[in-house]
Chains A and B, each alone.
Chain A
Amino acid sequence: MPSPYSAPLSLKEAKSKDLVPCIGETPLHSLHGPRREAEVFANNHLAQLARSSHALVLGLGFGYHLEEISKILRLRHKAAHVGVIEPRADLVRLWSSYRHVPADAKVFSPTADGELWNDPRLAAFLLEKPVVIIHPTSFALHRGFFETFLRRRSPSSVTQWRRAPDAAWMRAFQEAKHAP
């Protein structure tokens, strides 16, 4: 079975005529009615969404659930801020080219070197204490990625801190500083 990061990405048409992305053979939304499914999904998280106007969604899918979450947030808080963590950059590109990207949505994807945390927009978003909502299909496909993301804690010692990717920058900086 191919890895979820390298499995081919394709689009299928649901019975409702909406487009649904598939990773390998796995569709990311219902192939019957993705919009109806997203509506039910968002309504299942009403209590969580009442707590904050910021929601961090793990898994982009094709954005149907983001639109429903955004609607609920606007009704409850008069403002909606939806952040999405999505490990596959090609899915983000596909989504942004086929669907209307909501103005209040921010997508955070790992950079080419695999680093997600260096994005200042993500740090600014997390400082707003968003509620975390898991998109089950995406989560199941990229369980390792999302679990690593959720396990992240602030380093409690300098040793841990130095293991961070920035240690490489520190070395480069020291070399640059002592350069003639």
Chain B
Amino acid sequence: MLLERHLHLLLSPGDVAALEGLDADHFRRRFPGEHVALVSIAEADAARATDWFSEVRVLDLTFVQRVAYHPVLGDDIAFHHFQAVLAPLTGEGWGRIFNWSGSPLATALVPLLRGNPVGRQARGAGEICAEPPLKAALLLERWQLLHPVLTGWLRAKTVGQVPWETIERDLVPVAQAKGGKHAHPLKSLVVVVPVGAVALAQREWLEQLFTVVEAPADSATAWLADMVVGTTAAPAHPWSNNISTEALDPEALSARLGVLVPRALAKWTALAVLFDYLGNPRLSLAAEKILGRYDHDALHQFLASEILALKAFTKPLLEGMRRPAPDAGAALENFWGAHAGSVAFACAIELSLRPSVVPLLTGDGDWAAVRSRMRSLNQFYERLHRTSALELPKTDLALTL
């Protein structure tokens, strides 16, 4: 019997690194056969270094681009070199075509190949994506909510390999440590973890969600803060809070905590929704508990703002449900783009369960599903109020939704 051949499109930076998080043996059992990679020149060495691929083909896009812009060579010769790499791939029938990153280039290439695509593929004027986790990644990316950690988890979920053991091993102790008393000026933002108790690999992983703030040399602890310590003025991601290391004294920080804490709270809200979607309600509960361990005043303010955002969202949602029109979907799309937060995150998760990507809301079922997800989000906020003994703002959300 001839073995099937599967093609992996790894044309974006970090694509190969993201694959390394998956268990190669498990993957090969699930997709038996030969695995071939089409990689950018920057990823070529990394792809060859892994034992995933029996064959690595390189598409040197920088070269193609330089040829295209050359006054003598130009587009036609650039195209020739581009197709010289692609032509052998287009003639072959692939078992699966993995479009892991969903980058515009990889998505544009998928319809040129023959096989069953996994991930985004261009169709007509729009795109479709049959795998909910990858579609969720696409929507989160579009609304600037995608975080590198989430990318890895969502890709892993696509092939049923979410590394729960690692996540639980690392996150649960952090959640427990978060409730402990300590004297650091960052108070509720900091998780105190003794350096000796954190293995190097574990620390590298945790640093993606937290930032290790090194304690003084004479101290035996490092600090994992719920923020990224850096100097850039504009964070690339809503979760990436920025404080300068000079500003770590309590006086200078107090003014900034009002900005930083809600971002950390938004992150844990999103993670609570995501863990539930990924299939681990226990971790979802752990994330919810972490929220309850923040400063209560900050949590109260955060929840009030979230409920107001949810209330603002229900108006276009219900309008669209009453009068489904082509521009109703666009109104919500604009809302999500402009209000990147927990509501958009929960919507991305819900909409990812629908097969089409564009347009986002294609029928009554989609609207109702989003409303149902919003109802769950509202219940989540109500539950947080109860567990933290906070007064619930008076709204008619429960009735409206």
Contacts and interface: CB of A to CB of B under 8 A. Distances in A.
Contacts of B84: 118, 120
Contact of A118 (B66, B77, B112): B77
Contacts of B114: 177
B83 A126 contact: no
Contact of A177 (B79, B81, B112): B112
Contacts of B87: 169, 173
Contacts, number: 63
Nearest to A117: B77
B356 to A, nearest CB: 23
Contacts of B72: 126, 152-154
A123 interface: yes
A163 to B, nearest CB: 9
B297 to A, nearest CB: 61
A1 interface: no
B196 interface: no
B181 to A, nearest CB: 63
Interface string B74-118: 111101110110010011000000000000000000001010000
Contacts of B75: 154-155, 161
A161 B78 CA distance: 11
A176 B90 contact: yes
Nearest to B63: A124
B70 A126 contact: yes
B73 interface: yes
Interface in A113-160: 117-118, 120, 123-124, 126-127, 152-155, 160
Contacts of A154: 70-75
A13 interface: no
Contact of B71 (A117, A153, A161, A176): A153
A40 interface: no
Contacts of B285: none
- A120, A160, A177 — which one has the most chain B CB atoms within 10 A of its CB? A120
A157 to B, nearest CB: 10
Interface residues of A, number: 20
Contacts of A11: none
B390 interface: no
A90 interface: no
A156 to B, nearest CB: 8
Given A169-B87, A173-B87, A155 B76 contact: yes
B369 interface: no
Nearest to B73: A123
B67 interface: yes
Nearest to A166: B80
A177 B77 CA distance: 22
Contacts of A153: 71-72, 74
A161 B76 CA distance: 6
How many B residues are at the interface, by size bracket? 20 to 34
Contacts of B112: 173, 177
A133 B178 CA distance: 73
A121 B79 CA distance: 15
B90 A177 contact: yes
A173 to B, nearest CB: 6
B90 A173 contact: yes
A94 interface: no
Contacts of A117: 73, 77, 80
A50 interface: no
A155 B91 CA distance: 28
Given A127-B66, A176-B91, A166 B71 contact: no
A153 B90 CA distance: 30
Contacts of B67: 123, 127
Contacts of B77: 117-118, 123, 164
Contacts of A120: 63, 81, 84
B99 to A, nearest CB: 17
Contact of A164 (B63, B71, B76): B76
A127 B79 CA distance: 16
Nearest to B114: A177
Given A173-B87, A177-B90, A123 B81 contact: yes
Nearest to A151: B72
Given A120-B81, A164-B76, 8 more contacts: A118-B80, A118-B84, A123-B70, A123-B81, A154-B72, A155-B75, A161-B74, A166-B76
6 contacts: A118-B84, A155-B74, A160-B76, A161-B75, A164-B76, A166-B79
Interface of B: 63, 66-67, 70-77, 79-81, 83-84, 87, 90-91, 112, 114
Which A-B residue pairs are the 6 nearest by beta carbons?
A154-B74, A164-B76, A161-B76, A123-B67, A166-B80, A155-B74
